[in-house]
């Protein structure tokens, strides 16, 4: 399964303006296309933003995370 970044819009209580926030949980799907279908059918309030990528260096076991934005 691949892990995708999602965002949503809500009113910020500090200033009353609509802002975009990163969702606290990650959408799991087999492909970008499946993630789009899940968003449309089950989570219409979310916007699909990108895919999480994790790389592990074999020599140092250092983990690096990045987000592949579309």
Write down the residue that tokens 């970008």 correspond to: 32
Q: pTM value? A: 0.73
Structure token digits, residue 66: 């990045």
Residue 21 has a pLDDT of 94
Span 18-70, pLDDT tens digits: 999 998 878 999 999 999 999 999 999 999 999 888 777 778 888 777 777 76
Residue 58 has a pLDDT of 79
Taking phi first (over 0 means left), then psi (-120 to 50 degrees means alpha), and beta for anything else, what does residue 45 get?
Answer: alpha
- In the chain, domain spans: 2-69
Distance CA 13, CA 2 (A): 33
Distance CA 48, CA 32 (A): 9
Residue 30 has a pLDDT of 95
Residue 17 has a pLDDT of 97
Distance CA 41, CA 38 (A): 5
Residue 67 has a pLDDT of 73
């Amino acid at each position: 399964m691949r892990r995708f970044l999602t965002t949503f819009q809500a009113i910020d209580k500090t200033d009353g303006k609509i802002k975009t926030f990163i969702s606290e949980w990650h959408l799991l799907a087999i492909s970008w296309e499946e993630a789009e279908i899940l968003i449309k059918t089950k989570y219409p309030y979310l916007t699909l933003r990108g895919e999480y990528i994790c790389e592990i260096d074999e020599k140092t076991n250092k983990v690096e995370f990045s987000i592949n934005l579309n």
